[in-house]
Amino acid sequence: MKKIMLVCSAGMSTSLLVTKMEKAAAEKDEEITIFAVSEAEASNHFDDIDILLLGPQVRFLKSKLEKRLADYNVPVQVIESIDYGTLNGEKVLNSAMETLVNK
């Protein structure tokens, strides 16, 4: 089972997107755990995730988190602003899964 973690400033704004992503995963019969945390909580989950998705508002954290996750072989991806803003859970999920397949 794949685990996708979304990170934003406080972990709140991504909760709606998580719900949309979970719905998209269920429609595809994919067994995926998707959850959102704040930037401060992210490091508590590094050893238990397959990919980390950043909300557009915290894109500045990408290089810092890539360095911290290098030993875990976990990719870091910034969610496209338009997909984040429109809560396009299916597109965000597809993008994450494509990254995981190609990692």
**Residue 9 lies in domain:** 2-102
* Three-state DSSP state, 3: strand
**At 89, which helix (H) or strand (E)?**
helix 89-102
Model confidence, pTM? 0.94
| Catalytic hit among 4, 7, 8, 53 | 8
Q: What is the CATH number of the domain that holds 30?
A: 3.40.50.2300
d(CA 56, CA 60): 9
Whether 8 sits among the annotated catalytic residues: the reply is yes
Residue 6 near residue 79 (C-beta atoms within 8 A): yes
Q: What is the pLDDT of residues 14-59, one digit of tens each?
A: 899 999 999 999 999 999 999 999 989 999 999 999 999 999 999 9
Structural domain count of the chain: 1
Confidence of residue 9 (pLDDT cuts 50, 70, 90): confident
DSSP E strands, the chain: 2-8, 32-38, 51-54, 76-78
